[in-house]
Amino acid sequence: MKKTADTLQSTQVKLSSDTIELGIGQPDPDLLPHDDIKQAATHCINNNYSTSMLPYGHEEGCDHFRQELSQFLSRHYRQPVSLDRLFITNGNSQGLSLICTLFCHSGDTIFVEEPTYNLALKIFADHHLNVVSIPMDDNGIIIEELEEKAARFKPNFLYTIPSFHNPTGITLSQKRREQIIALSQAYNFLVVADEVYQLLHFGTPPPPPMADYLDSDTVLSLGTFSKILAPGLRLGWIQTGQYLMSKLVDAGVVHSGGGLNPFTSGFVRSILELDLLDPYLDKLKGIYGRRCRVICQTMSKNLPSTITFKEPEGGFFVWLKFPSDIDTKAILTKARQDKTGFKPGFLFSCNRNTTNYARLCFAYYGENQLETGIKRLAGSLLKP
Amino acid sequence: MKKTADTLQSTQVKLSSDTIELGIGQPDPDLLPHDDIKQAATHCINNNYSTSMLPYGHEEGCDHFRQELSQFLSRHYRQPVSLDRLFITNGNSQGLSLICTLFCHSGDTIFVEEPTYNLALKIFADHHLNVVSIPMDDNGIIIEELEEKAARFKPNFLYTIPSFHNPTGITLSQKRREQIIALSQAYNFLVVADEVYQLLHFGTPPPPPMADYLDSDTVLSLGTFSKILAPGLRLGWIQTGQYLMSKLVDAGVVHSGGGLNPFTSGFVRSILELDLLDPYLDKLKGIYGRRCRVICQTMSKNLPSTITFKEPEGGFFVWLKFPSDIDTKAILTKARQDKTGFKPGFLFSCNRNTTNYARLCFAYYGENQLETGIKRLAGSLLKP
């Protein structure tokens, strides 16, 4: 019922309801925590949290909620996270837009990874930024390229997705994280780290988040409840050092409107106080981990050996590499006829490169549908 | 309990708890609709609205909610308001910031009224806009000045607060509304109308909102639940024509994050379905109307006759004019010693003019406190 075209925002094509669109990069609607939200609503009401949910909130967000969030993050990052370093947002998309407003002028240059999250590119375009891409290898962004371009372009910031990268699934190595911080200080740019998948690992956790380097005063670490609880909440946070925090708190939107989401913060405060998030996150990791294995195994068995990929250890996505003369956009047309789909690679490049790649999401569909989708795709590829 | 420094966001001074700070421009926390929210939460849960509250929402907002909102607005604007013309926001501050992002580059010129809403000026500064002010008289913005400057500066938009203006309380006349629209078409600028106080009239309604002129394709009319329900909801809307709507729906933040506030929309949908908003709004108008009369009567009786004002017919604010050699910033220091306060006039001018004015809000405090606050201010003015 839920998985119809109705929920397919950002997918420009009308799909038939039996299409398995592996391009959709969203949490599975069937896994959304409806019962936890109901419990939280009752808790919230019984404890009269509305006194802090209904007025204008503090610029940085509700203290009670930030306290709960700091404890949650301290537990999962295995590092103390101070509530003084947390600025509450409406999720990472709006956090990113706020950062563009506060730290850039139109025409300024920023860096992204090649490839990068396709829809972040639209946010940067809205802010009229000059986007320069830095290539990646299996360990993340290539440091020599970053240094050479930093010297040349003097970017305002680097936008990076360090863990279980969208679209590649790659995790930036510990050593490169440190090198990026050193370069950000040497060349005076900010590191805007989209740490949306940091907590969604299926076994070994990734290296500590970029939020570990707040002392550099160059890091803005963006986190969100969209992938670990529910995207409709539009609730996230920016973890940052003292100086950058003072810039966020001084933004006109929070001077005028107060905290960015006091109402929803009250509900999620209840979710955290009731200890509902940890078990829900464990459940998600188990399910997504199994789905990841299923999609990878099915691809290994059914796709031609000329198509390669690396099995991700977390996140939402697997990144397929086709032979270099293949444009996946053309393949998509065939796949759609066979009632499946993916996101073609060119979307993730600010230069419209990576045309011989495809991003598949294993989070949105169940194991059986993933198998069926991949088999349809394999069949589609065999056709002339 | 509620009216301590804790709720005084945007007031940079620490106030003692017995200060009556008439500068605070917020709804009275004691009037916030806690019981209505509780009822809505139960309704929402019982009707399983969470299926549309938890996933990514449609870019323009939840259809069910927009349907309810369109009926509410049609009733109060006494004009049919189509849901297709409503784009849901996180309130007017963020709506305004989104408009700056989408319709301006850094360095572009925009127009504001002189005086204007002080905190909007900070939002425009964050977007690095060149702000030019247009003087007002008792009927709102002066049309000849607008035309002369429009020809000279070619602004991207005019930011106006047409009804019960912040800080002056003035309402733009019907004729001038039409003239502004004509000029916006002739000189190719947008009209960004902050219609936050449109529904808060104490007797005769103001002229129809600028949203009445959507056919011009130059109007973006911003509305919000902040002043008619609760600011912590961070929920509002932009009503606009087809072309500008397509620009909003194409914003990177909604491509990436989906609708701006699906979760809270579900609760307010319940408030509307349960018919709780109309009686609440009636109650507010009654209370604010009485408070407005009390503050004006107390001022007439107690303030020196050299200080003049016009009694507002709606909104939150009354604007005091002091003799032209008085700087209200200096008076504020004395007033604070006497445990009262106001917002000094210079804050509302992008040129730091209007120094001999003061903005007082009659919405935040009850009638007795307003009387006491004004008497303290009067006493303060008598001191050498």
CB-CB neighbors (< 8 A) of B2 in chain A:
51, 55
Residue B267, token pair as written in the block: 């609760």
| Widest pairwise Cα distance in chain B | 65
- Alpha carbon distances (Å) from A310 to A319, A320, A321, A349: 7, 8, 9, 19
Spatial contact of B318 and B360, defined as CB atoms under 8 Å apart:
yes
Peptide bond into A167 cis (omega under 30): yes
Count the neighbouring beta carbons within 10 Å of the beta carbon of residue A275: 10
Q: Terminal CA-to-CA distance of chain B, rounded, Å?
A: 34
- Domain A5-31+278-381: CATH superfamily is Aspartate Aminotransferase, domain 1 (3.90.1150.10)
d(CA A20, CA A26): 13
pLDDT tens digits for A49-89?
889 999 999 999 999 999 999 999 999 999 999 999 999 99
Burial class (CB in 10 A: 0-12, 13-18, 19+), B215: exposed
Average pLDDT score, chain B:
95
Give me the amino acid identity at A238. Answer: I
Q: Mutate one of A44, A156, A234 to test the B interface: name it (highest B CB count within 10 A).
A: A234
Chain B residues whose CB is inside 8 A of the A124 CB are: 252
| Residue among A26, A53, A254 minimizing CB distance to B232 | A53
What is residue B11's predicted lDDT score, i.e. its pLDDT? 40
Instruction: Give the total residue count for chain A.
Output: 384
Q: Tokens in use for B86?
A: 């409503």
What's the farthest any 2 CA atoms get from each other in chain A? 64
Question: What mean pLDDT is predicted for residues A179-201?
Answer: 98
Taking contacts as CB-CB distances below 8 angstroms, the residues of chain B near A94 are 90, 94, 253, 257, 260
**Sign of the alpha-carbon dihedral angle for A164, A90, B97, A259:** negative
Q: Which residues of B touch A100 (CB under 8 A)?
A: 101
- For B75-138, the three-class secondary structure string (H helix, E strand, C coil) is HHHCCCCCHHHEEEECCHHHHHHHHHHHHCCCCCEEEEEECCCHHHHHHHHHCCCEEEEEEEEC
Measuring CA to CA, how many Å separate A144 from each of A180, A181, A191, B295?
A: 10, 14, 16, 67
Residue among A44, A55, A254 whose CB faces B232 most closely:
A55
Separation CA B55–CA B292 (nearest Å): 43
Using one digit for the tens of pLDDT, what is the confidence trace for B263-292? 999 999 999 999 999 999 999 999 999 999
Percent of chain B with pLDDT strictly greater than 70:
96
CB < 8 Å to B41, chain A: 41, 44-45
Test the B interface: residue of A112, A256, A348 with most B CBs within 10 Å: A256
Judging by DSSP bridges, how do beta strands A219-224 and A190-194 pair with one another? parallel
- Convert A332-344 to b/e letters by CB count within 10 Å (16 or more is b): beebbebbbbbbb
CA distance A364 to chain B (A): 11
- Per-residue confidence (pLDDT) for residue A14, from 0 to 100: 56
Count CB neighbours of A366 within 10 A. Answer: 16
Give the C-alpha separation, B304 to B255, whole Å. Answer: 56
Question: Cα A158 to the chain's mean position, in Å?
Answer: 15
Nearest to B100 by CA among B167, B190, B163, B180: B190
Residue A208 carries which side chain, given as an amino acid letter?
A: P
Judged by CB atoms closer than 8 Å, whether chains meet at A123 and B252 is answered as yes
Instruction: Identify the closest residue of chain B to A63 by CA–CA distance.
Output: B6
Return the residue in A8, A44, A54 with the most chain B beta carbons within 10 A, the one to mutate for interface testing.
A54
Distance of CA A323 to the CA centre of its chain: 27
Q: What is the mean pLDDT of residues B213-234?
A: 97
pLDDT in tens, B142-161: 999 999 999 999 999 999 99
Q: How many whole angstroms separate alpha carbon B113 and alpha carbon B176?
A: 14
- Alpha helices, DSSP H, located in A104-163: 118-126, 143-153
Could you tell me the pLDDT band of residue A383, with boundaries at 50, 70 and 90? confident
pLDDT digits (tens, 9 = 90+) for A329-369: 999 999 999 999 999 999 999 998 999 999 999 999 999 99
Closest CA to A234 of B261, B326, B276, B128: B261
Binary contact (B258, A231; C-beta < 8 A): yes
Q: How far is CA A373 from the centre of its chain?
A: 23
Nearest CB to B55; choose among A7, A90, A126: A7
Give the side-chain half-sphere CA count within 13 A for B357.
22
Nearest to A115 by CA among A314, A325, A282, A357: A357
d(CA A40, CA A45): 8
Q: Residue A41 is nearest to which of B41, B105, B121, comparing CB atoms? A: B41
Q: Which helix (H) or strand (E) holds B358?
A: strand B357-361
Residue B210: how many CB atoms within 10 A of its CB? 28
pLDDT score recorded for residue A382: 87
B338-363 mean pLDDT: 96
Rounded to whole angstroms, the Cα distance separating B168 from B180 reads 19
**Rounded Cα–Cα distance for residues A204 and A244 (Å):** 31
Rg (CA), chain B: 21
Percent of chain A whose predicted confidence (pLDDT) is above 70:
96
Cα–Cα distance between A287 and A88 in angstroms, integer? 28
**Calpha distance B307→B357 (Å, rounded):** 9
Which H or E run includes A382?
A: helix A367-382
pTM across the whole model: 0.96
Q: Residue B14: which pLDDT band, with cuts at 50, 70 and 90?
A: low
User: CA-nearest residue of chain B to A1?
Assistant: B51
Query: Which position has the higher pLDDT, A382 or B356?
Result: B356
Could you tell me where the beta strands, DSSP code E, fall in B225-346? 236-240, 317-321, 340-341, 343-344
Least CA distance to B261: which residue of chain A?
A234
CA distance B357 to B322: 6
Decide if B37 and A54 are in contact by the 8 Å CB cutoff. yes
Taking CB atoms and an 8 Å limit, are B257 and A29 in contact across chains? no
Nearest to B87 by CA among B243, B315, B274: B243
* Confidence check: pLDDT of B134 > 80: yes
Which chain B residues are within 8 Å of A343, Cβ to Cβ?
Answer: none
Nearest-angstrom CA–CA distance, B226 and B7: 15
Checking if the pLDDT of A9 tops 70, the result is no
Query: For residues A107 and A239, is the Cβ–Cβ distance under 8 A?
Result: no
Please write the tens of the pLDDT for every residue from A142-156. 999 999 999 999 999
Measured in angstroms, the CA of A40 and the nearest CA of chain B are apart by: 11
pLDDT in tens, A56-65: 999 999 999 9
Averaged pLDDT for residues A154-170: 98
- CA distance, residue B317 to nearest chain A CA (Å): 16
Q: Look at strands A357-361 and A343-344 and give their pairing.
A: antiparallel
Instruction: Determine the pLDDT at residue B1.
Output: 31
Q: A348: closest CA among A108, A173, A180, A169?
A: A169
Q: What is the mean pLDDT of residues B103-111?
A: 98
Secondary-structure class of domain A38-273 per CATH: alpha beta
User: Residue B384: pLDDT band by 50, 70, 90 thresholds?
Assistant: confident
Chain A residues within 8 A of B159 when measuring between CB atoms: none
**CB atoms closer than 10 angstroms to residue B144:** 10
- Other beta carbons less than 10 A from residue B77's beta carbon: 20
Instruction: Nearest chain B residue to A123 by CA: give it.
Output: B252
Give all strands of the β-sheet with A343-344 in edge-to-edge order.
A317-321, A357-361, A343-344
Nearest to A55 among B7, B100, B256 (CB): B7
Please give the structure tokens belonging to residue A293: 């294995």
Q: How do the domains of chain A map onto residue ranges?
A: 5-31+278-381, 38-273
Shortest CA gap A101–chain B (Å): 6
Residues B54, A231: C-beta atoms closer than 8 Å:
yes
Distance from CA of A48 to the nearest CA of B (A): 8
> What are A357's strand-pairing partners?
A321
Is residue A12 pLDDT above 90, yes or no?
no
Q: What is the mean pLDDT of residues A268-296?
A: 98
Helix (H, G, I), strand (E, B) or coil at B373: helix
CA-nearest of A192, A214, A209 to A98 is A192
